[in-house]
Amino acid sequence: MDDRLLRTPEPKPGDVLMIGAEASVQFAGDRHLTFRVISVDRKPTYHGWVWLTGYVIDERGFAADRREVFVQRRGLYRLPKRQPTAQPTKERR
């Protein structure tokens, strides 16, 4: 995985994750997802696995599709938080 990615053992709402083959074979190769978490299901499941609900983020950075995914925690990578860009200010006259 990319050095810019931070491994995240416990995802939380608001995280933007890279979900690939390490998380589940269904996300291998070009099927990987950039995923914004909106909820984490706390119901018990198989050790090391978790159900996440969130939005698939498209190449423009917009939420494209709401999904629920079943993935291995150790295969999740959190993308660094984007810094807000400064808004141009209007000059007063």
Number of domains composing the chain: 1
The answer to whether residue 1 is domain-embedded is no
- Strands 63-72 and 6-7: what pairing? unpaired
Domain encompassing residue 65? 6-78
Note the pLDDT tens digit of each residue in 43-53.
999 999 999 99
* C-alpha distances in Å from residue 70, one per residue of 23, 27, 41, 43, 62: 9, 11, 10, 12, 22
CATH of the domain at 35: 2.30.30
Q: What is the pLDDT of residues 54-68, one digit of tens each?
A: 999 999 999 999 999
Tokens (6 digits) for 51? 């159900």
Q: What global pTM score does this model have? A: 0.79
